[in-house]
Amino acid sequence: MLDNFEKLWKDALFEIEPNVSKANFSTWFKDTSISKYDNGVVLIDVPNDFVRERLSTKYYKFIISSLRNLNPTIRHFECLIVSKPRKTEFIDKKQITKNSQSNEEQLGFQDFNIDTEANLNPKYTFDSFVVAPFNEVAHSASVAVSKSLGNLYNPLFIYGGVGLGKTHLLQSIGNEIRKNKPSAKVHYLTSEKFANDYVLAIQNKNISLFKEKYRKYNLLIVDDIQFFSDKLKIQEEFFHVFNALYDGNNQIIFSSDKPPQYIVGLEDRLKSRFEGGMMIDISQPSLEERMAILRVKMQQKSYLISDEIIDFIARNIKENIRELEGALNSVIGQSKIRGKILDLKEVEDILKRKIKPIKIVTVDHVIKIIAMYYNIEEKSLSEKTRRQEIVKPRQIAMYLLRNDLNTSYPYIGRRLGQKDHTTAIHAYKKITNDIKNNKSLEQEVISIREIIFKA
Ligand code: ADP
Ligand code: MG
């Protein structure tokens, strides 16, 4: 008999927690509970659609195996959304139509009105930032920093792929500070701008002015610091700026397309400074999240698009939010030009140019990239050896072939020189598991994947 749901879920979470990063755990498992058990099926209450989707796909195996460990009669679980959707997902429509016109106009005007001292674009605010689980942690850390400059997370380091909202968040912090504390000295720039300024200062022989300038800020935001890569002299100069600001309790915020340890040609002492603060990633938005963003953006633009078309755009534009917004703008623009609401076929035609053809990736291609990545010979991946420098790449190859290409285990086994398929199954399970506990392995697999699928 299974009746103490609270205890069951608590015990299950206790097992799940060590396998999931802290941020993910709180994002995906908070506000969940078990509400029912019937004939082998457990019902898990979840707060929204994002969580439902994530628990029933990515975390399904995890959850079900810990539940079954606790009670073997459990066969399956389902999620039920119990509370209202997040308020950020669906903004009150009436309010939108009331405000949007003036907002739009204001934005158009404000675009040219960049605060030159702070170098902030006023359109990037927390208000216009859509929060969803994939960026929720980065968002709340940014809000927290804007409320407690220099004291809480210093430095704050946000990383993630292009077009996922890093600049938007960083500038929102700056704008928030400018609004609430006009006396604070705020400055936003990219690492490239910093590098150029430095070179100019050298040329013009006013390096002391340069040093002074960057040491006076209460909040310095440096975007895209991956461009410091290999610029050692500039890194050295920046290191001193960082220390001066930090020692004076001033806030420093960074973004990058990858975590510091993966930025090639970045000095160790800078890496350790970056890692000394708070590091947060923005991950890729899921389908549901892309749809939610489109809905909010559509409302902000006071334009109505059918669910079918939202679904079509979100399914096909996966890379990032910038492209998602670009696609939405094209559809709205065309619709205005043609003076009518577009049907799905017309939208398909418009977006055809924007949608990248899916790259067909072969087994050979994957093996070639893995060999290249680990600097070993392709044929050694199929050798019968237990040498660690071969075993690990081979297991990753097996994992990727299974996970990303859906290749059959027997084929994977044969192709990589094994007699039977159990090695492939073992490798798949091992890497799946190891990734969860090993950030650097996870990042390795992400990097390999990027190379494999690069168009
Ligand atoms: P990144 O700096 O990570 O490359 P950006 O901050 O430049 O990405 O974002 C790209 C575009 O997408 C910008 O126009 C930004 O306003 C928009 N955007 C990104 N994330 C969000 C979000 N969560 N809500 C609303 N707009 C977003
Ligand atoms: Mg950016």
Distance CA 97, CA 386 (A): 65
| pLDDT of the residue at 49 | 74
In whole angstroms, give the CA distance from residue 431 to residue 395. 7
Please tell me the distance between residue 178's alpha carbon and the centre of ligand 2 in angstroms. Answer: 20
Whole-number pLDDT of residue 94:
32
Tell me: the pLDDT tens digits for 39-72? Answer: 888 999 988 777 888 888 888 888 998 998 888 8
**Mean pLDDT of all residues belonging to the chain:** 86
Q: Which amino acid is at 449?
A: R
What pLDDT does residue 354 have?
64
Name the residue type at position 256.
S
Q: If you search the block for the tokens 């489109």, which residue do you land on?
A: 294
Short-list 178, 169, 121, 190, CA closest to 149:
178
Q: How many helices (H) and strands (E) does the chain have?
A: 20, 8
Give the tens place of pLDDT for each residue, 373-431.
Answer: 999 999 999 988 889 999 999 999 999 999 888 888 999 999 998 778 899 999 999 99
Contact 142, 175 (CB under 8 A): no
What pLDDT is attached to residue 272? 93
| Mean pLDDT, range 249-267, rounded to an integer | 93
Q: Which two tokens stand for residue 294?
A: 């489109």
Contact assessment for residue 409 and residue 398, using Cβ atoms and an 8 Å cutoff? no
Q: Say which residues have a Cβ less than 8 Å from residue 446's Cβ, sequence separation at least 6.
A: none
- Alpha carbon 131 to chain centroid distance? 12
pLDDT in tens, 281-314: 999 899 999 999 999 898 888 888 889 999 999 9
Q: What is the pLDDT of residue 359?
A: 62
The DSSP secondary structure of 66-128, one letter per residue, reads HHHHH-TT--EEEEEE-SPPPTTTS--HHHHHHHHHHHHHHHHHHTT--BTTTTB-TT--STT
Q: Quote the pLDDT of residue 446.
A: 84
Query: Which tens digit of pLDDT belongs to each residue from 76-130?
Result: 899 888 864 333 333 333 333 333 333 333 333 334 455 678 999 999 999 989 9
Q: How far is CA 192 from CA 106, 208, 226, 425, in A?
A: 30, 20, 9, 46
Pocket test for ligand 1, best of 321, 323, 325 (most atoms within 8 A of CB): 321
For residue 303, give the 3-state DSSP assignment: coil
In whole angstroms, give the CA distance from residue 263 to residue 260.
5
Token digits of residue 421? 């398929």
CA–CA dist 314, 196 (Å, integer): 38
Range in 33-37, 135-139, 298-302 with the lowest mean pLDDT: 298-302
Which helix or strand (DSSP H or E) is residue 236 part of?
A: helix 232-247
Query: Ligand 1: does its nearest atom lie under 6 Å from the Cβ of 167?
Result: yes
- Identify whether the C-beta of residue 63 lies closer than 8 Å to the C-beta of residue 71: no
> What is the model's pLDDT at position 107?
36
What is the spatial distance between Cα 329 and Cα 349, in angstroms, rounded to a whole number?
A: 14
Q: What is the mean pLDDT of residues 13-29?
A: 80
Nearest ligand 1 atom to alpha carbon 168: 6
Look at residue 108 in the predicted model and tell me its pLDDT: 35
Which residue minimizes the CA distance to atom 13 of ligand 1?
322
* Interval between CA 128 and ligand 1 midpoint (Å): 10
Average pLDDT for residues 423-448, to the nearest whole number? 90
Q: Write down the pLDDT at residue 114.
A: 59
pTM of the model: 0.61
Residue corresponding to tokens 């404000």: 110
Residue 184 C-alpha to ligand 1 middle, in angstroms?
25
Tokens of 88: 């950020």
Give the residue carrying structure tokens 């040329």: 203
Residue indicated by tokens 């700026």: 241
Contact 273, 171 (CB under 8 A): no
Atom of ligand 1 at shortest range from CA of 135: 23
**What residue owns the CA closest to ligand 1's atom 6?**
165
* Vertex 87 angle, CA 81 and 88, to 5°: 115
Nearest-CA residue for atom 14 of ligand 1: 322
Strand partners, 255: 158
Cis previous bond, 155, omega within 30: yes
Q: Which of 440, 436, 452 is nearest to 404 (CA)?
A: 452
Residue 321 Cβ contacting ligand 1 at under 6 Å: yes
More confident residue, 198 or 52: 198
Ligand 1 atom 1 nearest Cα: 163
pLDDT higher at 265 or 21: 265
Specify the amino acid at residue 183. S
The one-character DSSP state at 231 is -
Please report which ligand is nearest the Cα atom of 171.
1
DSSP letter at 18?
A: G
Alpha carbon of 129 to ligand 1 centroid (Å)? 8
The proportion of the chain whose per-residue pLDDT surpasses 90, expressed as a percent, equals 54
The answer to whether residues 421 and 412 touch, using CB atoms and an 8 Å cutoff, is: yes
Q: According to the model, what pLDDT value does residue 455 have?
A: 52
Contact call for residues 424 and 412 (beta carbons, < 8 A):
yes
Q: Are 228 and 266 in contact (CB under 8 A)?
A: yes
CA 184, CA 145: separation in Å to the nearest integer?
Answer: 14
Ligand 1 atom closest to Cα of residue 282: 3
Give the mutation target among 124, 137, 168 for probing the ligand 1 site: most ligand atoms within 8 A of CB.
168
- Burial class (CB within 10 angstroms; exposed 0-12, middle 13-18, buried 19+) of 105: exposed
pLDDT score at 361: 82
- For the Cβ of 394 lying below 6 angstroms from any atom of ligand 1, the answer is no
pLDDT computed for residue 1 by the predictor: 60
According to the model, what pLDDT value does residue 256 have? 96
